Structure 1
Amino acid sequence: MSSTLPAFTDLNATWTFIQPGLEFILGAQNDQGVTSTMYMNCYTAVYNYCVNKSRRGSTPQSISNNTENNSYSLAGAEIYSKLELYLIQFIKNLKKQPNESFLEFYVRKWTRFTIGAVYMNNVFDYMNRYWVQKERSDGRKDVFDVNTLSLIKWRNEMFQPNNEILINQILELIEKQRNHLIVDTNLISTAIKSLVFLSIDIQDLKKPNLIIYVNSFEKPFLDSTMAYYLKESSEYLANHNVVDYMKKCETRIAEEISRSNTFLEDHSKKAFINILNKSMIENHAYEMYDQFLILLQQNQIDHIQRMYKLLSRVPKTLDPLANALEEYIKREANSVIEEIQKQSEQDIKDGKKKTIEPKIYINKLISIYNQFNDVVIKAFNKDTKFIRSLDNACRYFVNNNCIAIPKPRSSCKTPELLARYADGFLKSTSKDSDIIDMNSDNLMIIFKFINDKDTFEENYRRLLAKRLIHGNFKSEELEESVIHKLQEENSIEYTSKMTKMFSDMKASEDLKLKVKSKLGDDVTVKEFTPMILAQASWPFTYNKLYNLNIPNELSDTITKLKEVYSAQHHGRQLKFLFNHGRAEIKANLSKKGKPAFIFQVTNIQLMILLAFNSKDSYTIDELHEIVGCEKSIFQSHLSALIKYKLIIEENNLLTIVEEYKSKKLKVNFISAVKTTTNQQIEEEDEVKNEINESRKQFLQAAIVRIMKSRKTITNTNLLNEVLLQCVNFEAKIIDIKKVIDDLIEKEYLKRDGSNYEYIA
């Protein structure tokens, strides 16, 4: 290359001068680089030509679309045209070596060409900044800076004619990589990256554009990936088990993601991951589902977790897995509970017990829940979908099993058994060894799943009432903590009656102190605990069959109690529930020199024994008349005293013993009082009636609230809205319709065809 610069007005001389330098810049001379002198000479020659050559008139129409009649215009069109032709010819003359693949040739030449294009862009810097910029601002979209022009010519002359062979060789190399053969990864990444550079939007050079990359590489790549893994996964599953296949999937997906990060554009990654998931996971989900139940039975938590992680990559495939878990839990639970029932029936037949033990039943429900809760936590990472499946399954088997519903259409027994379970660990008389695995946390787990929470509340409240009035509770703090938990899980209204019961107990204690301060020293009963219970909160009803005649020993105390209470609360009526009270009585029936006995007795037994302070013997009728309750009730309480030989019955004459023989100084006669079948039935009926009445009132209030708000509503919508409000029990449609009919009768509502109108 000559060091003498050409005349700036001579286009051909200028081009002849710079062309050898361009050859060196673009690497045509065996990749020999350009010298700094040669580079500066080329730059100066182009600069001189563009700056100093001026022309009159418009540029030729073939080069310029400029329609203005300028007296002076920037030079550059002619040399730009020569450069464009040169680039076309240069790229066409590039030749592949005999021993290299087209991909190797392409990457080698592309790498050198793009480096040279950057330098060449600098050589034509003045033309870029002035002439090219002016032409593009005038609307010329076919004029580009030299670097962009070079890429466009490479795309047109090198890539497009050889598109298919290049992409095929890229995909072949990727497949070899998948087959764990050693390949030059630089060939893959460089070739693919070239497609991104070649994706040029000639209308807006600054706008990101991946059209070449997407159409030429992304689509074939995704298709080939799908085909490869569809084939591999099917072949692998045909010769291996599902667990091995899942391990293979994990490895393959990790490999592909790691590999693809070296050459894949972000635009493709989501679609690529979807292809992997579809070919390896979604297409073989059913094989995994079939294995899932086997893994559950074998408690293979690690493999279940592996399955979950794979399927979670395709969220819709988790639904059948969650459904399968739910159904499996139901089946397993029913099987376990059936075993409990069979064992219980055998124990009852053998006389070992009378009914199913709440502790055994509830603890088994808890163990089932804990078993599968561990699976959900460890294998399914606390996924809400699987938590919901566990909850649904638990709600089903807690409320629908052979113990919960022993007969078709019978009410669920689980709420009652749960209440008795709670009573077991809250009673002070329970042995620690018997309640070691019973606690309020377990109670709340099952409480969450029972449908008829109102049934639980009624039974729990009745048992709580007995614990409170008999002083048979471990601690007030423990009782209140359970009530607080029930309130948190449900509502303040749900536990309002229980809370009021504790208030009544505290008020009763205050009343006792006031009465004791009013009593003199000459009263027979100095220690007593009156309990004033609000009828609305406590589950007790007045029963006139238990009315007792108050003996002289108690009359002063009871009279003073009435006086003090009436002074505090005007207009309130006191009714004595003698069937629920109990007493301790000191009995001097022991040998001389030994302390007196303390008898724990019911109120009826108290009246019977106090009668013997007057004389030693009575006929049954005489004693019954003195005591005063219904005859059969009197006899059931008397029989306990006769059974344990405190009273001797001979020839219809009842006589108190002069000396009672017992190793214990404190004797309990209360537990010996037998509850008759009729009494049990009456109590069960009372509970049912209370629940039914409470539900009826709730439904009436719900319907009236809805109707007041809506004024008119269709039958279907009213039923649906009422059902939504029934959170503490499962309302039956027939019961709602009966309540609607009652409200129509009471003229709260009016029926108009299939609609209801509020008229109250």
Structure 2
Amino acid sequence: SLQPDFATTSWELLRTAIGHIHRANASGLSYEELYRNAYTLVQHKKGALLYDGVAACVASQLRFVAEQIVGGDGTQRGTSVGGPSEKGTGGDSGRRFPMLHALRTEFERHCTSQQMIRDILMYMDKHYVTDANLLPVWELGLSLWLKHVLSHPSIGGPFSSQLLDALSADRAGELVDRSLVRASTAMLTALAAVEPSAYEEFFERSYLSLSHEVFRAESEALLSQCSAGDYLQRVDGRLQDEVQRTVQCLDRCTEAKVVAVVQEEFLTRHCQTIARWPNSGLVWMVMNGRHDDVARMFRLFEDVPGGHELMQTLLRENLVKQGKAVVAGDGTAVAASAGGVGTAAETLARSATFVTSLLELRASHMKLVREALGGNEHFSRAFTSGLEEVVNGSTKSPEYMSLFIDERLRRGLRNASEEEVEAALEGVIFLFRLLHEKDVFERYYKIHLAKRLLHNRSVSDDAEKSMVARLKTECGYQFTSKLEGMFRDMTVSESVNADFKEARGKGAVDLSVTMLTTGCWPTPVPPNHVLPADLQAVADDFTAFYLKRYSGRRVTFHAGLGFADVRFSVGGRRYDLIVTTYQMLLLLCFASSDEPQAVADLAKRTGIALPDLCRSATALTRSTMKQPAVLLRSGTSKGKAVEETDQLSVNTKFKSKVYRVKISSGGAGGGSATKEAPSEVAKTREKVVEDRKYQIEAAIVRVMKSRQRLAQSELVALVIRLLSSRFTPDPLLVKERIESLIEREYLEKDGSVYSYLA
């Protein structure tokens, strides 16, 4: 049985024990006895007496501790408020920040005491505290510490100030005991169990505000002293220091907030200045190969609002500027690199410079993406968009791309490996993919391909077919159907020529004919050439042979696209002249007479158009250092070109060191000149515009046939989308073709809605 005063006796025993624990004199206590007494009190409904008594004892002790800390008399149970010197870890931190040191010491003692008291009162925590919905003993101790110590008017303010001073000193590079700072912030973090805002109220809010001020002043100072690269390097170092300091000294929740302050003050407020910094900004870094600085800016700007977008804008603008400089090249250096040979060589050099420079520009920026921009897809798309603007900013782009391919497939890829061929073609295909006027490219490509095939100048049939296959992949079968038809014609021509020679046998004239299907080849309407009798006889034999095999077809000879070998005897020597068919017809006019003949008369005898005849004759009258001219010109014209009023005669003093002499084509009659005359450029454009009208009308009919009724805006948008793989039509031209179809009763208009008429 229990004594009537058992509660008072038991509590007095526990109170005395708690006092010994607070005085760090608990070695003689019997924890089993103390636990049993606490257990008995709770079992006999004295839990309130026990809980209130413990709270009063702890509160009394903490009020005493607060007075000691405020008094700072250095007699706190043998421990100086300043604390001993910690050598090597900020040894004078205790003297510089006495409040931090004192609170750390007392909080550690308080926590030790509370752990011991909690162990004694474990049964009370488990039953009475839970049932009464009170704070457990450990949380009670934290709450009382916050109330009586940290919230003391003479402790909380100095504590916060000294904690900020310690961090400021550490930030300034002074030697500070970081464990002291960490203990202080850990105390605040522990108090969050009873007061979630304690850490923010006593420290974090003020620390972030101070950081804003410090970083703002530091950033302004750096801006006036450093270049953009040095500034970013200093910011990167500052960011790393702050992260390290936060990890070692502060709560983990503060790291992201401090990083945000650094980014705001150093980067967000000055991102425009940094990126556009004259002679050291982003563009300067790229142009001077400072990829490390670009990578640092990319990394630091990642969390800056609009940072990466700003970089994309500047880099794209720079790419477009460089690309436009390539497009707007004055051609002087290009002509010099071509040796000043003439307009054809200059055009070839221009096309090579144009395409090569754009591919190099692309390669350098893709390297930048890989090495400095982390392979970021947004930057890749921005660069591609910039190149697209450059490529479509010049009306010469389709022609230059086709000329570049023509040069590579004629001789530029000779002796190249398969990998090198694939790389060269893939680069051009990338630029072609960006091109809007693909139909213009197609027209030039057909012209150049026809010359390569007819004159047997392709370096590789496999490379030719690989290029056509790539174009087919990009634009579909319709885009390459005529190109593939040209290859089929070459294959058929070989078979037909072999069979014809076998059937005819060997004759005085050896004729080889290439069969060109009308519509596949970019050839003009053949003129009515006048062939010599022996040539006409062979041509008639071939026509009869061909029509016997392919009945129902029509054969027309186009002498302006061929070549011939002509036996030329002069001065007792014989030469074989390799000439165009036009030049052959011209030379045969002198086979029976060496007398001068008027150019106008020669045009009538041969049936060759006067401009073509003059160009062909000019090549025959041109002398070089290696050989004299085949024909001599006489007349009143002063230029180098043969004119209608001139007369031509055979050069009887012709001499050459070689037996087979190749004569320049002069850009006519099967020649390979790459320079289009202004009139030819205009005709090409006119033909493209005319073809576009038919394609637009076909697209309109196709769309309306499937939809039946459409509003004007929707119809125009669908037509533009349908034709975008070949060219981007002008909306006004689309509307014009719609009106034309309405006039021809393919469509009818009801307000702003069109209907298809079957």
Q: Does 1:584 align with 2:570?
A: no
Q: Does 1:741 align with 2:739?
A: yes
Paired residues of 2:530 and 2:607 also in contact (CA < 8 A): yes
Alpha-carbon distance in 1 for matches of 2:542, 2:336 = 55
Q: Does 1:171 align with 2:197?
A: no
Alpha-carbon distance in 2 for matches of 1:230, 1:736 = 58
Equivalent residue pairs, number: 699
For residues 522-572 of structure 1, what are the alpha-carbon distances to aligned partners after superposition, in whole Å with 9 as ceiling and x for unaligned? 4445562x33333333222323x24444744564565346544653x5544
Change beyond 3 A, Cα 1:233–1:532: same
Aligned-partner residue type, residue 197 of structure 1: A
Alpha-carbon distance in 2 for matches of 1:575, 1:698 = 29
The equivalent residue for 2:232 is 246
Percent sequence identity is 21
Shift of 1:260: 0.8
Alpha-carbon distance in 2 for matches of 1:581, 1:210 = 94
Secondary structure, aligned partner of 1:507: helix
Alpha-carbon distance in 2 for matches of 1:380, 1:427 = 39
Alpha-carbon distance in 2 for matches of 1:565, 1:13 = 134
Secondary structure, aligned partner of 2:269: helix
Paired residues of 2:511 and 2:538 also in contact (CA < 8 A): no
The equivalent residue for 2:662 is 668
Alpha-carbon distance in 2 for matches of 1:264, 1:572 = 92
- Pick the aligned partner of 2:143 from 152, 169, 185: 152
Paired residues of 1:703 and 1:722 also in contact (CA < 8 A): yes
Give 1:304-323 correspondences, 5 Å limit.
304-323=294-313
The equivalent residue for 2:444 is 459
Change beyond 3 A, Cα 1:240–1:463: closer
The equivalent residue for 2:78 is none
Aligned-partner residue type, residue 255 of structure 2: K
- Pick the aligned partner of 2:454 from 469, 473, 480: 469
Alpha-carbon distance in 1 for matches of 2:170, 2:53 = 44
Shift of 1:384: 3.9
Give 1:592-607 correspondences, 5 Å limit.
597-607=575-585
For residues 677-725 of structure 1, what are the alpha-carbon distances to aligned partners after superposition, in whole Å with 9 as ceiling and x for unaligned? 9994664344223322332233234434444555544444444444444
Q: Does 1:391 align with 2:387?
A: no
Paired residues of 2:164 and 2:207 also in contact (CA < 8 A): yes
Shift of 1:258: 1.0
Q: Which range is displaced more, 476-485 or 252-261?
A: 476-485
Alpha-carbon distance in 2 for matches of 1:46, 1:120 = 11
Change beyond 3 A, Cα 1:335–1:649: closer
Alpha-carbon distance in 2 for matches of 1:627, 1:236 = 83
For residues 314-335 of structure 1, what are the alpha-carbon distances to aligned partners after superposition, in whole Å with 9 as ceiling and x for unaligned? 1513333432333344445545
Q: Does 1:188 align with 2:174?
A: no
Secondary structure, aligned partner of 1:579: helix
- Pick the aligned partner of 2:524 from 541, 544, 547: 541
The equivalent residue for 1:44 is 36
Unaligned 5+ runs, structure 1: 56-74, 202-208, 405-411
Change beyond 3 A, Cα 1:353–1:582: closer
Q: Which range is displaced more, 41-50 or 357-366?
A: 357-366
- Pick the aligned partner of 1:421 from 404, 423, 435: 404
Paired residues of 2:529 and 2:608 also in contact (CA < 8 A): yes
Give 1:552-571 correspondences, 5 Å limit.
552-553=534-535, 555-556=537-538, 559-560=541-542, 563-564=545-546, 567=549, 569=550, 571=552
Unaligned 5+ runs, structure 2: 74-80, 83-97, 623-627, 636-645
Alpha-carbon distance in 2 for matches of 1:312, 1:385 = 12
The equivalent residue for 2:207 is 221
The equivalent residue for 2:554 is 573
Change beyond 3 A, Cα 1:608–1:351: closer
Change beyond 3 A, Cα 1:122–1:581: same
Secondary structure, aligned partner of 2:560: coil
Aligned-partner residue type, residue 534 of structure 1: T
Alpha-carbon distance in 1 for matches of 2:223, 2:436 = 45
Give 1:605-644 correspondences, 5 Å limit.
605-607=583-585, 627-630=606-609, 633-634=612-613, 636-637=615-616, 640=619
Shift of 1:34: 4.1
Paired residues of 1:167 and 1:217 also in contact (CA < 8 A): yes
For residues 631-672 of structure 1, what are the alpha-carbon distances to aligned partners after superposition, in whole Å with 9 as ceiling and x for unaligned? 664565456556676568999998879996432211223524
Change beyond 3 A, Cα 1:119–1:717: farther
The equivalent residue for 2:505 is 521
For residues 162-204 of structure 1, what are the alpha-carbon distances to aligned partners after superposition, in whole Å with 9 as ceiling and x for unaligned? 5444333322221121111222222322232333332237xxx
Aligned-partner residue type, residue 451 of structure 1: H
- Pick the aligned partner of 1:23 from 19, 42, 66: 19
Alpha-carbon distance in 1 for matches of 2:326, 2:601 = 56
Change beyond 3 A, Cα 1:674–1:465: closer
> What's the TM-score, normalizing by structure 1?
0.79
For residues 429-480 of structure 1, what are the alpha-carbon distances to aligned partners after superposition, in whole Å with 9 as ceiling and x for unaligned? 99999xx999545534543444323222221221111101110111112223
Alpha-carbon distance in 2 for matches of 1:604, 1:213 = 97
Change beyond 3 A, Cα 1:558–1:683: farther
Aligned-partner residue type, residue 410 of structure 2: K
For residues 178-237 of structure 1, what are the alpha-carbon distances to aligned partners after superposition, in whole Å with 9 as ceiling and x for unaligned? 111222222322232333332237xxxxxxx94433454433332222122112222333
Secondary structure, aligned partner of 2:260: helix
The equivalent residue for 1:106 is 103
The equivalent residue for 1:80 is 51
The equivalent residue for 1:750 is 748
The equivalent residue for 2:248 is 262
Alpha-carbon distance in 1 for matches of 2:738, 2:200 = 66
The equivalent residue for 2:61 is 90
Aligned-partner residue type, residue 532 of structure 1: M
Aligned-partner residue type, residue 561 of structure 2: H
For residues 567-606 of structure 1, what are the alpha-carbon distances to aligned partners after superposition, in whole Å with 9 as ceiling and x for unaligned? 3x55443333322122334x273787x7x63332323344
For residues 128-169 of structure 1, what are the alpha-carbon distances to aligned partners after superposition, in whole Å with 9 as ceiling and x for unaligned? 333334x1xxxx43x233223333333333334454443333
Alpha-carbon distance in 2 for matches of 1:259, 1:249 = 15
Change beyond 3 A, Cα 1:579–1:84: same
Secondary structure, aligned partner of 2:661: strand
Secondary structure, aligned partner of 1:589: strand
Q: Which range is displaced more, 605-614 or 272-281?
A: 605-614
Change beyond 3 A, Cα 1:150–1:396: same
Change beyond 3 A, Cα 1:286–1:611: closer
Alpha-carbon distance in 2 for matches of 1:491, 1:220 = 66
Aligned-partner residue type, residue 490 of structure 2: M
Secondary structure, aligned partner of 2:106: helix
For residues 112-137 of structure 1, what are the alpha-carbon distances to aligned partners after superposition, in whole Å with 9 as ceiling and x for unaligned? 3223333332222222333334x1xx
Give the aligned CA root-mean-square deviation in angstroms: 4.3
Alpha-carbon distance in 1 for matches of 2:683, 2:365 = 38
Secondary structure, aligned partner of 1:536: coil
Alpha-carbon distance in 2 for matches of 1:710, 1:572 = 40
Alpha-carbon distance in 1 for matches of 2:478, 2:319 = 33
Aligned-partner residue type, residue 122 of structure 2: D
Change beyond 3 A, Cα 1:630–1:330: closer
Q: Which range is displaced more, 180-189 or 144-153?
A: 144-153
Asked which structure has the greater RCO (Cα within 8 Å, sep 6+), the reply is: 2
Q: Which range is displaced more, 339-348 or 239-248?
A: 339-348
- Pick the aligned partner of 1:688 from 685, 688, 703: 685
Q: Which range is displaced more, 114-123 or 326-335?
A: 326-335
Shift of 1:293: 5.0
The equivalent residue for 1:531 is 514
Secondary structure, aligned partner of 2:30: helix
Aligned-partner residue type, residue 446 of structure 2: R
